[in-house]
């Protein structure tokens, strides 16, 4: 009887906390552009539906309440009802290098460059290439977004810390009136440090987390390099070298990274049954970067982890299904509701005990399919790859911008 009363009381408390988080986020939601967002490949591969999964180091980026699950899921002494779930006591990773490349666009541009490579040696060859402008029109003012990623994370029961950097650039070509021009739509650099903690209540059914993040962002706006304005330096410089000099000159403006922004992350998790968990989180509360207020990211979701499919023995296995409603406060591009819906599934399996572990993920993010692979060798060396798409237009389904990302690192 007493246990039943405690359960009812904890459920009432949960439903009081969720509206408070939502009301706080909505009260702060009429702001500008989105804040820094870490491209974490495990969630992105499964459709970015992760706010209620949040069972490893990635909880710091999606829901800090998930740090409470580390060292408890799969612990038969402390949470016997979750003992089939693979145990993850400690998680520390260093990603040396990650690259985000729109492969389809990159291959099209590479083919174009190979077809007209000789024309870029000097101005006379460029002017005499009769098919250059017609071929270039397919890429006219179409930014190609590329990024370089780096970061490190440490997480354990109820505590986590991380740092990461995300450098993005979107070059494009402009057919121009007389001759083509090279341009860059934007260059953006985010550098972020995070720390987070969590705790639990009501027999561990309710987890609550709070995090702090410090960020720097520098953005360089659109600039163009007109080929008619480039000097060939009496033939000693190729056009490519002249463009590189112009870009290098612009990059020198990156010396000042602007003001430092500070923000709060908060989240809750509710374990309804051993298989079913609900989550809600908000990131980048109170964030102001370079004198611009940023929109908090409010997300809520549900995760289903069937205990019959989990395995915490020699052949460890983790299976998750999830659905999120993501970034509910941001409507800056007239997105339709489907853009906010994410769903996905993942299957993590020990392939060779204590040697090799693999992960396969599939999902839908904002109406576009996602997929990913991951692997760990000797629990030290890890590899991740994922593909997902963002909407490049002003409504869902107008213009797909697909990304392919790979990361290599070490961890324990």
For the chain, how big is the Rg over CA atoms in Å?
A: 24
| Both tokens assigned to 309 | 């499919």
Picking from 405, 377, 411, the residue whose alpha carbon sits closest to that of residue 389 is 405
Alpha carbons within 13 angstroms on the beta-carbon side of residue 399 total 8
pLDDT surpasses 50 at 392: yes
pLDDT of residue 336: 73
Residue 13, pLDDT above cutoff 70: no
Please report the pLDDT score of residue 259 as a whole number.
Answer: 73
When comparing pLDDT for 70 and 134, which is higher?
70
Higher-pLDDT residue of 156, 13: 156
pTM for the full predicted model = 0.79
Q: What's the Cα-to-Cα distance from 352 to each of 56, 87, 217, 358, 387, rounded to whole Å?
A: 21, 17, 43, 9, 26
DSSP 3: H
Confidence of residue 5 (pLDDT cuts 50, 70, 90): very low
Within 8 A by CB and 6+ apart from 378, the residues are 354, 355
Q: β-strands 297-304, 276-285: how paired?
A: antiparallel
pLDDT value at 122 more than 50: yes
**Mind listing the pLDDT tens digit for each residue in 59-90?**
999 999 999 999 999 999 999 999 999 988 88
Taking 90 as the threshold, does the pLDDT of residue 48 lie above it? Answer: yes
Fold of 2-411: Porin (2.40.160)
**Do 351 and 358 form a contact (C-beta atoms < 8 A)?**
yes
* Among the listed residues 151, 123, 277, the one whose alpha carbon sits nearest the alpha carbon of residue 213: 151
Alpha-carbon span 369 to 44, nearest angstrom: 10
């Amino acid at each position: 009887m007493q246990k039943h009363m405690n359960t009812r009381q904890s459920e009432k408390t949960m439903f009081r906390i969720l509206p408070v988080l939502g009301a706080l986020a909505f009260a702060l939601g009429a702001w500008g552009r989105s804040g820094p967002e870490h491209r974490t490949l495990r969630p992105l591969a499964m459709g970015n539906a992760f706010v209620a999964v949040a069972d490893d180091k990635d909880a710091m980026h999606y829901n800090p309440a998930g740090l409470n699950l580390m060292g408890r899921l799969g612990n038969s002494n402390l949470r016997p009802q979750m003992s089939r779930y693979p145990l993850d006591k400690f998680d520390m990773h260093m990603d040396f290098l990650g690259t985000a490349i729109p492969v389809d666009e990159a291959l099209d541009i590479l083919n174009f460059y190979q077809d007209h490579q000789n024309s870029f040696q000097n101005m006379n060859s460029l002017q005499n290439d009769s098919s250059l402008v017609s071929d270039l029109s397919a890429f006219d003012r179409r930014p190609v977004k590329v990024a370089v990623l780096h970061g490190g994370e440490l997480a354990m029961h109820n505590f986590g810390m991380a740092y990461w950097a995300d450098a993005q650039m979107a070059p494009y070509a402009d057919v121009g009136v007389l001759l083509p021009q090279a341009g860059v739509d934007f260059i953006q650099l985010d550098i972020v440090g995070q720390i987070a903690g969590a705790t639990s209540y009501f027999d561990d059914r309710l987890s609550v987390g709070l995090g702090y993040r410090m960020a720097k962002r520098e953005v360089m706006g659109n600039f163009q390099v007109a080929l008619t304005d480039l000097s060939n330096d009496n033939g000693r410089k190729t056009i490519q070298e002249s463009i590189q000099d112009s870009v290098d000159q612009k990059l020198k403006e990156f010396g000042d990274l602007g003001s430092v922004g500070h923000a709060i992350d908060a989240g809750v998790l509710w374990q309804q049954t051993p298989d079913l968990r609900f989550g809600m989180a908000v990131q980048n509360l109170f964030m102001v970067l370079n004198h611009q207020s940023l929109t908090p990211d409010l997300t809520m979701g549900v995760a289903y982890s069937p205990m019959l499919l989990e395995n915490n023995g020699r052949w460890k296995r983790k299976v998750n299904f999830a659905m999120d409603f993501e970034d509910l406060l941001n409507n800056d591009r007239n997105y339709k509701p489907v853009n906010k819906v994410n769903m996905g599934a993942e299957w993590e399996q020990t392939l060779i005990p204590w040697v090799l572990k693999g992960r396969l993920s599939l999902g839908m993010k904002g109406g576009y399919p996602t997929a990913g692979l991951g692997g760990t060798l000797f629990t030290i060396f890890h590899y991740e790859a994922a593909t997902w798409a963002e909407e490049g237009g002003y409504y869902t389904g107008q213009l797909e911008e697909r990304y392919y990302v790979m990361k290599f690192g070490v961890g324990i």
